Amino acid sequence: MRVRLVKQRRPAVEYDAELVSDDGTHLIVRIGRGDVWIEHYWRDRWYSVKEVFDAGGRHQGWYCDIAQPARVDGDTVISEDLELDLWVSADRAVIARLDEDETDFTPEVTAAVEELERLARAGRAPFQDRRLVFGEDPELYDRMRPSYPPALIDDLIALPGVGPAARALDIGCGTGKTAALLAARGLTGVAVDADAAMAAVARRRLATLPSWRVDVAPFESWAPADGEWPFDLVVSAQAWHWLDPNVRLPKARALLTPGGWLALFWNVPAEDHSPLRRALDEVYDRLAPGLRRTGGPKEMPPGERRSYPWRQTYSADQWVDLARTHSDHRMLPTDRLGPLLAAVHAAIDAHGGVYDHPYDCVLWLHRREDLLPGD
């Protein structure tokens, strides 16, 4: 295949490359020209990464090019370079911005370079999994992240063919919040998470329930044991968006029994026009404009959408601890996160010391028969 790098201030560059893999989001190519470059392009990220190895195979480091999300046209991957680069040496002794003065620092550019710097300082490569930051502090996650409304669980149990004797699969189970809610209603099943630290908390929580097992594996490569599937209900709470879009739907469908249900849900911030929310938005606009206060799905296969509004009151300390569990906050360099959270805390203090936060728990329900194979 070909790689075309479109530059803002220089002529475009084009060269041959050998395709290593393409999962629909993340495309990897190899270029051998004395030294060897392994190049990573993402269709949904504002950077690309070029790993550099010398002719003896020794890793030299990686160039991170801040760039528009990559496009693929025929057999050509096209990356529109925004000039700013980050060089990270293999031993991470050097983490340096290059061509900073030639760059327009839009929120996307700022967020991208800060994410790359944070990963480099944390000893992680950008092509390692950002989905696994939750496991850096699973106890904090478990303590601070909200559970899901009982009415939603009631509705799942009431689905035709589900009921208290049903078998369920919880994908991206994290610390086991949803599996525990289902187990409390009598359901049995399997919970799967890619992160061993998160799964360890889920195992502890489900330890007294031999009818539940927790597996550590990415859902994409996970396989059920013989005889334990198909499932009547497949759930994924706050996790579906982390799964490979090419795999998740056909695989979930294949694991469901005829007439079975796929239930995807997210606690998302509900609309809030309170003075405190406005003050918090101002803090983010000023200190972390790249962070979006969104959540949940952008696109869903056809299905039924239900909504469960609810509220929770947080002290300033609790709200700040909750913010620390969000992956976008965890990706911020500590010298940005500290002042951001201090300002958030101060805003809550200035508005009475508590945040009565409105949530909308959004449930998407899909019957197996409505999920077309290959969707």
Ligand X SMILES: C[S@@+](CC[C@H](N)C(=O)[O-])C[C@H]1O[C@@H](n2cnc3c(N)ncnc32)[C@H](O)[C@@H]1O
d(CA 99, CA 83) in angstroms, rounded, equals 6
> Which residue number, 167 or 205, has a Cβ lying nearer to ligand X?
205
The burial class, CB within 10 Å (0-12 / 13-18 / 19+), for 65 is buried
User: Total binding residues for ligand X by CB under 6 A?
Assistant: 23
What three-state secondary structure class fits 151? Answer: helix
Min separation Cβ 246 and ligand X, Å: 12
Residue 172 in the binding site for ligand X (CB under 6 A): yes
Nearest to 253, CA basis, from 346, 102, 372, 333? 372
Minimum distance from CB of 366 to ligand X (Å)? Answer: 17
Among 114, 117, 193, 215, binds ligand X (CB under 6 A): 193
Q: Which residue is nearest to ligand X (CB)?
A: 174
Minimum Å gap between C-beta 219 and ligand X is 4
Among 70, 77, 173, 187, binds ligand X (CB under 6 A): 173
Residue 192 interacts with ligand X (CB under 6 A): yes or no: yes
CB-wise, 202 or 348, nearer to ligand X?
202
Contact characters 218-247, ligand X, x per CB under 6 A: xxx----------------xxx--xx----
> Alpha-carbon distance 364 to 143, whole Å?
25
Q: Is 198 in the site for ligand X (CB under 6 A)?
A: yes
Residue 359 touches ligand X, criterion: CB under 6 A? no
Tell me if 277 sits within 8 A of 354, measured CB to CB.
no
Q: Provide, rounded to whole angstroms, the least separation between the CB of residue 226 and ligand X.
A: 21
Are 269 and 359 a contacting pair, CB within 8 Å?
Answer: yes
Indicate whether 26 belongs to the interface with ligand X (CB under 6 A).
Answer: no
Under the binding rule (CB under 6 A), the answer on residue 152 touching ligand X is no
- Report the SS3 class of residue 277: helix
User: Cβ of 226: how many Cβ atoms within 10 Å?
Assistant: 6
Q: Taking the complex as a whole, how short is the minimal distance between the CB of residue 147 and ligand X, in angstroms?
A: 8
Site for ligand X in 103-132 (CB under 6 A): 131-132
Which of 236, 234, 237 lies closest to 167, judged by CA? 234
**Lateral strand order in the sheet of 304-315:** 212-216, 188-193, 167-171, 231-237, 256-269, 354-367, 304-315
Q: Give me the residues paired with residue 306 across strands.
A: 363
Using CB under 6 A, which residues numbered 242 to 281 contact ligand X?
A: 242-243
Q: How far is the CB of 235 from ligand X (least distance, A)?
A: 8
The full length of the chain comes to: 375
Nearer to ligand X, 194 or 347 (CB): 194
User: Which residues contact residue 89 at a Cβ distance below 8 angstroms, ignoring those fewer than 6 apart?
Assistant: 60, 61, 95
Report the SS3 class of residue 115.
helix
Single out the segment in contact with ligand X by CB under 6 A; choices: 18-26, 87-95, 191-199, 307-315: 191-199
Distance of closest approach, residue 93 Cβ to ligand X, in angstroms = 30
Q: Find the binder of ligand X among 42, 134, 212, 359 (CB under 6 A).
A: 134
Backbone angles phi, psi at 28, to 5 degrees: -120, 130
- Alpha carbon distance 29, 41 (integer Å): 8
Closest approach of Cβ 146 to ligand X, in Å?
A: 9
Is 191 an interacting residue with respect to ligand X (CB under 6 A)?
no
> Of the listed pieces 65-73, 106-114, 168-176, 296-304, which binds ligand X according to CB under 6 A?
168-176
Determine which residue in the list 79, 103, 110, 178 makes contact with ligand X, applying CB under 6 A. Answer: 178
The DSSP bridge pattern shows strands 59-67 and 47-53 to be antiparallel
> Between residue 324 and residue 343, which ones bind ligand X under the rule CB under 6 A?
none
Q: In degrees, to the nearest 5, what angle opens at C-alpha 45 toward C-alphas 80 and 122?
A: 120
Which stretch of DSSP H or E encloses residue 6? strand 2-6
In the complex, the smallest distance separating the C-beta of residue 137 from ligand X, rounded to whole angstroms, is: 12
Give the closest residue to 219 by CA, choosing from 166, 173, 167.
Answer: 173
Q: List contacts with ligand X (CB under 6 A).
A: 131-132, 134-135, 145, 172-174, 177-178, 192-195, 198, 218-220, 237-239, 242-243
